[in-house]
């Protein structure tokens, strides 16, 4: 699908809902997860990013996330984040659902952002459910291997959805409801391997003429999405490579040129 065709699709098939994954942030210097050089190529996610690992060894989980949080906070929104924010400002994007925890969409100016996997903004106490801002958490981690809840003394958990945890109820409800009345659904930078995004790939029930388009990364292959939702597959699986190669940022920019 040429960039101009995608731009026309977004303009004509309104409202447009966008769902993004790790690929949208790679040009900000943030590695993806499932490519050969991705984060899970050398690290077992179930040892450092699962709720079972956190309960078993919170020090190891926080050792991983301490470095992740520093990396993500140092990253800056790239042209794709900025283009999506501009599309929303111009009324061409109704809402944005993201699997990313890096907060770059909000920092780029997107307003209606649904973070289905949480974010690095804070940590949460599983005992009393209080939250602690990331600045305070990082300050604690300078002197301790784990941050402690100031209210009950329990170990805080990163404010992201770990493997084995339920997704935030409000966020997942919006993520699954938004595509239904949409005229188009644009997948940007997602391998469509981790739920709930794969569940949004089927044709919205109330929009028989709706279209789904897929951009795997900021310079990626784009195709209309037709295959059935993938199951939650092993983290090392690779995204499919169907369709014509197209520059995601250029596609998005052409929507308001």
Architecture of domain 34-74+119-160: 2-Layer Sandwich (3.30)
Asked if domains 1-30+77-117+167-257 and 34-74+119-160 share a fold, the reply is no
CB count in 10 Å sphere of residue 15: 18
Tell me the two tokens of residue 241: 């490579």
Q: How far apart are alpha carbons 100 and 108 in whole angstroms? A: 14
pLDDT at 120: 97
Beta bridge partners of 95: 17
Instruction: For the full predicted model, state whether its pTM sits above 0.75.
Output: yes
Query: Looking at beta carbons, which pairs linking 27-30 to residues 24 or more positions away fall under 8 Å?
Result: 27/78, 27/79, 27/80, 27/218, 27/249, 28/75, 28/76, 28/77, 28/78, 28/81, 28/102, 28/104, 29/71, 29/75, 30/71, 30/72, 30/75, 30/102
Domains in the chain: boundaries: 1-30+77-117+167-257, 34-74+119-160
Q: Work out the angle at residue 88's Cα, subtended by the Cα atoms of residues 84 and 94, and round it to the nearest 5 degrees.
A: 110
User: What element of type H or E holds 6?
Assistant: helix 3-12
pLDDT at 135: 96
pLDDT at 257: 64
pLDDT at 9: 84
Q: Work out the angle at residue 77's Cα, subtended by the Cα atoms of residues 74 and 78, and round it to the nearest 5 degrees.
A: 125
Phi/psi at 219 (5° precision): -135, 100
The Cα diameter of the chain in Å comes to: 57
pLDDT at 101: 97
Instruction: List residues with catalytic annotation.
Output: 117
Q: Along the 257 residues of the chain, how does pLDDT read in single tens digits?
A: 667 787 888 888 999 999 999 989 999 999 988 888 889 999 999 999 999 999 999 999 999 999 999 999 999 999 999 999 999 999 999 999 999 999 999 999 999 999 999 999 999 999 999 999 999 999 999 999 999 999 999 999 999 999 999 998 899 899 989 988 999 888 888 766 665 555 555 544 444 445 555 554 443 333 333 222 223 333 333 333 333 334 566 667 667 66
Q: Which of 129, 119, 115, 130 is nearest to 170 (CA)?
A: 115
Q: What is the pLDDT of residues 5-15, one digit of tens each?
A: 878 888 889 99
Topology classification of domain 1-30+77-117+167-257: Rossmann fold (3.40.50)
């Amino acid at each position: 699908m040429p960039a101009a065709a995608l731009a026309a699709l977004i303009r004509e098939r309104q409202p447009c809902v966008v769902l993004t994954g790790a690929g949208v942030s790679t040009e900000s210097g943030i590695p993806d997860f499932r490519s050969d050089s991705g984060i899970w190529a050398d690290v077992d996610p179930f040892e450092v990013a699962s709720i079972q690992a956190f309960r078993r060894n919170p020090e190891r989980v926080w050792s991983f996330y301490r470095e992740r949080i520093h990396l993500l906070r140092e990253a800056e929104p790239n042209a794709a984040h900025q283009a999506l924010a501009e599309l929303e400002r111009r009324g061409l994007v109704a809402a944005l659902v993201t699997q990313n925890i890096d907060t770059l969409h909000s920092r780029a100016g997107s307003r209606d952002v649904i973070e289905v996997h949480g974010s690095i903004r804070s940590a949460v106490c599983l005992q009393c459910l209080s939250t602690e801002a990331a600045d305070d958490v990082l300050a604690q981690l300078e002197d301790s291997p784990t941050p402690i809840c100031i209210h009950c003394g329990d170990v805080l958990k990163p404010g992201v959805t770990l493997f084995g945890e339920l997704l935030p109820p409000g966020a997942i409800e919006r993520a699954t409801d938004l595509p239904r009345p949409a005229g188009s659904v644009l997948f940007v930078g997602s391998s469509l391997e981790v739920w709930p995004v794969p569940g949004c790939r089927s044709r919205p029930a109330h929009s028989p003429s709706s279209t789904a388009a897929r951009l795997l990364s900021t310079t990626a292959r784009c195709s209309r999405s037709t295959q059935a939702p993938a199951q939650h597959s092993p983290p090392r699986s690779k995204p499919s490579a169907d369709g014509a190669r197209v520059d995601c940022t250029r596609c998005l920019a052409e929507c308001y040129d």
